[in-house]
C-alpha cells in the first residue's frame, strides 16, 4: 500500500497504472492506461470471491465487461448465475446484455469475454434486470473504506443509479470488485454524491470488507447530467420524459 496522501483522482489513476506496469503484473489488453487494468492473479481473485456468502447467495449479477473481471463472469456462468452487462455508454434502448447460462451451453467461456457477450447475449431493456443480488464493478484504485476509482467515464456509477431508480438494486445490494493488491491504496480517494462505494474488495491474497459508512446513491442525479448526455442515452431520455 502507498503512504497516506490526498492526490487527485487523475494522479492516483496514473500512479496505479504505472505501478502495475513497473511491477510487471499488468497483462493484455495493453496499454493499461485509460482502462480497468487487467492483472496477473485475476483468476485467483475470482476464485476467492466465489467463496463469499454474498456470492453464494446471488443468482442475478450485474457485472462490468472489462478483461480483469472475465474470470468472475465465467465462474458465475459456470455456477448457473445470470449476468447482466451494460452496453457501452448506455447508448442503446436495450442497454443491457443478458447472459443466461441455460442458453449458452458449451459456450460459457466465449460468452464471458467482452466480444462474446455481445455476440451470444440477449439485448434487453433495464426492466429485465429484475432484482440484482450482487453488483461487480471494475476498479483502477480502491481503499479499505470501500472508496473506488474507475477509469473516469462515470458510467459504472450511472448504471447503478439507473438500476436503483428502477428498484433493481437498493442500499443493501452488495458491491464487489476484484483487483490486484497493488491497486489497494491507503490514500484518500475523493468521492462525490454519485460515486458508488464498495462493500467487498477481493485480491488474489485476501478479502477486504470495507469499513466505510458512505451511503450508496439513491438514484439518478438529473441535475448533474446535461441535455446532451441524456439525449445520447435513450433509456435516460425515456425516464426523464
Give the CATH number of the domain where residue 169 resides: 3.40.50.10420
Is there a domain that residue 2 lies in? no
Look up cell 466505510; give the residue.
212
- Regions of the chain where pLDDT drops below 50: 1-4
CA-nearest of 89, 77, 48 to 180 is: 48
pLDDT score, position 153: 82
For the CA atoms of 66, 223, 167, 143, the dihedral, rounded to the nearest 10 degrees, stands at: 50
Is there a domain that residue 146 lies in? yes
Is there a domain that residue 117 lies in? yes
Is there a domain that residue 203 lies in? yes
**pLDDT tens digits, residue range 47-71?**
999 999 999 999 999 999 999 999 9
Residue 45 grid cell: 481473485
Q: What pTM value is reported for the model?
A: 0.95
pLDDT score, position 1: 47
Is there a domain that residue 46 lies in? yes
142 near 2, Cβ under 8 Å? no
Is there a domain that residue 143 lies in? yes
Say whether 123 sits in a helix, a strand or coil: strand
Structural domains counted in the chain = 1
pLDDT score, position 211: 87
Is there a domain that residue 169 lies in? yes
pLDDT score, position 154: 84
Helices and strands (H, E) in the chain, number of each type: 9, 10
Structural domain boundaries enclosing 193: 9-240
pLDDT score, position 103: 96
Is there a domain that residue 1 lies in? no
46 near 178, Cβ under 8 Å? yes
159 near 197, Cβ under 8 Å? no
Amino acid at each position: 500500500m502507498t503512504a497516506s496522501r490526498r492526490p487527485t483522482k487523475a494522479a492516483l489513476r496514473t500512479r496505479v497504472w504505472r505501478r502495475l506496469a513497473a511491477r510487471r503484473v499488468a497483462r493484455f489488453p495493453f496499454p493499461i492506461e485509460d482502462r480497468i487494468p487487467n492483472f496477473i492473479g485475476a483468476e485467483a481473485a475470482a476464485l476467492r470471491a466465489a467463496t463469499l456468502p454474498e456470492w453464494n447467495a446471488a443468482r442475478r449479477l450485474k457485472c462490468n465487461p472489462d478483461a480483469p473481471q472475465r474470470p468472475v463472469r465465467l465462474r458465475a456462468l459456470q455456477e448457473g448465475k445470470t449476468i447482466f452487462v451494460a452496453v457501452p455508454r448506455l447508448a442503446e434502448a436495450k442497454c443491457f446484455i443478458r447472459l443466461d447460462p441455460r442458453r449458452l451451453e458449451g459456450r460459457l467461456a466465449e460468452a464471458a469475454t467482452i466480444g462474446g457477450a455481445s455476440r451470444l447475449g440477449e439485448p434487453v431493456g433495464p426492466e429485465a434486470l429484475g432484482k440484482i443480488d450482487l453488483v461487480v464493478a471494475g476498479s483502477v484504485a480502491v481503499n479499505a473504506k470501500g472508496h473506488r476509482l474507475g477509469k473516469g467515464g462515470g458510467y459504472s456509477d450511472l448504471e447503478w443509479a439507473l438500476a436503483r431508480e428502477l428498484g433493481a438494486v437498493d442500499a443493501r445490494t452488495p458491491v464487489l470488485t476484484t483487483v490486484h493488491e497493488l491497486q489497494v491504496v491507503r490514500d484518500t480517494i475523493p468521492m462525490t454524491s454519485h460515486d458508488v462505494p464498495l462493500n467487498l474488495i477481493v485480491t488474489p491474497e485476501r478479502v477486504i470488507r470495507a469499513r466505510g459508512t458512505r451511503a450508496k446513491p439513491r438514484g439518478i442525479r438529473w441535475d448533474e447530467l446535461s441535455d446532451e448526455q441524456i439525449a445520447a442515452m435513450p433509456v435516460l431520455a425515456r425516464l426523464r420524459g
